[in-house]
Amino acid sequence: MRAPRQMPIAMTLPADHALESFITAPCNAQAKALIQDGTWPAGKLVLTGPEGAGKTHLLQIWASRTGATVLHPRDLAKADLTALADQGAVALDNASDLAGARDLETAAFHLHNMLAERQGLLLLAARAPVRDWGLTLPDLLSRLQAAQHVALAAPDDALLAGVLEKLFADRQVRISDTLIPFLLPRMERSLAAAQALVARLDSESLARKKPISRQLAADVMQTSFDFE
């Protein structure tokens, strides 16, 4: 019997990045604890993990707590580095995109040093560890490799089940106890996919004027995504 094909959904993470909406599971508990603690060796931390693991959500939680500015590496090209450092806390999302762009690597190096001088905080998120980014500026590489590192695993069944349950509840949609176990092995393993799937099922349920059931979910997956 052919194993179920995962349902591919291209969608950004939910806009809700509040602490209360972050569902804790073994795959992300250590990272969440470090974000909430905020006392890192030398004031810097690198979060790594696959797409959809919750890195951006944690960055935004930390920014809300600290007043940090969250940037993409390309933003450093025109940023006022002194002003950023004076704020005392900066987060770089998709930080591996620094690699290969000498101006961005140089800007990140100067920002790092300015924050260190002010005893500020630097949080970076990427899919891979610093050693795999391909940085060409040795001084930046050595400084970022010295940062504390915590890895988030891909969302496990416990986390995805909790996310799905919350997303349905947020929409005030009642589901059967068998729906989420049916969806888990058939969906893409990411938080973004969970949010997109719930939105699609809710929309289809309203259009058909039928409750969300396993049969409706199977119909939507097969019809809309050539699900085999």
Instruction: Kindly report the CATH number that applies to the domain delimited by 157-225.
Output: 1.10.8.60
Residue indicated by tokens 């393993």: 189
Instruction: Give the mean pLDDT of the chain.
Output: 87
**pLDDT for the residue numbered 108:** 98
d(CA 146, CA 52): 26
Same fold, 26-151 and 157-225: no
Beta pairing partners, 126: 48
Architecture, CATH, for domain 26-151? 3-Layer(aba) Sandwich (3.40)
Residue ranges per domain, the chain?
Answer: 26-151, 157-225
User: Which CA distances in Å does 35 have to 28, 55, 60, 147, 219?
Assistant: 11, 11, 10, 14, 41
**pLDDT for the residue numbered 14:** 42
Question: pLDDT tens digits for 103-116?
Answer: 999 999 999 999 99
Span of 20-24, 25-29, 88-92, 196-200 with lowest mean pLDDT? 20-24
